[in-house]
Homo-oligomer: A and B are copies of this chain.
Amino acid sequence: MAKLTGKALVAQGGGPTAVINQSVVGVVLEARRFPQITHVYGARHGVSGVLKEDFLDLGQTTTQNLEDVAVTPASGLGSTRDKPDGEYCLKMFKVMQAHDIRYFFYVGGNDSSDTCRIVNEQARATKYDLCCVHVPKTIDNDLVGTDHCPGFGSAAKFVGQAFAGANMDNRALPGVYIGVVMGRHAGFLTAASALGRKFEDDGPHLVYVPERVFDADKFVADVQKVYDKHGRCIIAVSEGVSDKTGAPIITSLKGAEKDSHGNLQLSGTGALGDLLADLIKAKTKIKRIRADTLGYLQRSFLGCISQTDAEEARAVGQKAVQFAAMHGADGSVAIKRVGDYAVNYELIPLDAVAAKTRHMDDAFINAEGNNVTEAFLKYCRPLAGELPTQDRIQAPHVVKIMPNK
């Protein structure tokens, strides 16, 4: 493809992450290097902003503003759950054509990569010269073709720090603690709950991911066993755990809501945690049972960022522009792990990524299906980076001198 001259458009789709703005800033600053890219526009609220011709002229931002936005969680341009069909795309093209937009960078997860694929196909079908690059992001880490996804590392760090703290809190006031973790149908983020384990008896003691069938009786037995051993039990459960029929545990509850992609509402409710807490209350004699649903903080908490994740999120934005502007290539930017720890960036075909879901490797889950393996921790640690210092009091017990009663 000859070098396209025209404007670039960047947009963000799907659930925000702590570093998704890094990718937009990567696109904007990199695009400024290429003379054939005449302007960089940002569509507000993803593809819906294209339809509404709701663009910001990102060429008219200061570098300082962009750098401040880069460290800010959530999608600075706004996001959307809209999934364009053919008609939707046709309307988008009319707007893009009117503005002479020739480069489209869409930062998002697997739904957004599918959107990107549809837009790209429509562009070809209508013979509109448009270079489409999907820039990966998702805290779920469930994109295929990439070693990991920008956004996951920071969310993993948050989850690791949350469970490290919950473990110590639970050690101070023992009982059962359930933490429900995001990630939809992939268990990576739930597995990251184990990142902060330091001592032999540290929690989470049990980790349930959607890659394994969730059996309520086995769950209760697991909890009882850990409680008998340690006098306490910390449990990480993925919001997407399912029973043997494949039905999410949460579907038995009323009011389950689906989005426009047909996805079930798994987040933004404490229902699953409360359900599991009630189950333990009903089936055991354990008294102090608490359930937290980590919720939107996992993807949006201000000030919990993995440095590696932030740098890679910036880099995928920069590489997207390079692949497009230097090679005129369509595709999805993928991260390849080439060292321990180093990465390269590649462009892979859009249809290799679109609407596909990656799951955890078998090697990352223990045989019993209720914990993570050292292989997972080895995979995950460089992505989340080092967790803050924590320690226990290391002091000898005082010899008891009271007479036995």
A residues sitting closer than 8 Å to B (CB atoms) are: 12, 15-16, 18, 41-42, 45, 53-58, 60-62, 65-66, 68-69, 71-81, 94-95, 98-99, 161-162, 164-166, 168-169, 171-173, 177, 196, 255, 267-271, 273-274, 277-278, 281, 289-297, 299-304, 387-398, 400-402
Contacts and interface: CB of A to CB of B under 8 A. Distances in A.
A395 B42 contact: yes
Given A61-B395, A269-B270, A296-B292, A78 B172 contact: yes
A164 B42 CA distance: 23
Contact of A171 (B54, B78, B94, B166): B78
A254 to B, nearest CB: 10
A402 B75 contact: no
A269 B294 CA distance: 12
A9 to B, nearest CB: 10
Given A268-B291, A396-B57, A389 B71 contact: yes
Contacts of A400: 53
A395 B24 CA distance: 13
- The listed residue with most B CB atoms (<10 A of its CB), out of A16, A66, A268, A278, is A268
Contacts of A166: 296-297, 300
B297 A270 contact: no
Contacts of A54: 397
Given A15-B173, A55-B397, A61-B395, 5 more contacts: A65-B395, A73-B165, A73-B168, A75-B172, A267-B290
A168 to B, nearest CB: 4
A99 B397 CA distance: 13
Contact of A161 (B270, B302, B402): B302
Contacts of A75: 172-173
A295 B166 CA distance: 10
B42 A393 contact: yes
Contacts of A402: 53, 94-95, 98
Contacts of A56: 393, 395-398
A260 to B, nearest CB: 11
A398 B71 contact: no
B41 A398 contact: yes
A289 B76 CA distance: 21
Nearest to A7: B398
A391 B72 contact: yes
List the 4 shortest-distance A-B pairs measured between CB atoms, nearest first. Answer: A270-B270, A268-B290, A292-B295, A74-B168
Nearest to A78: B172
B278 A274 contact: no
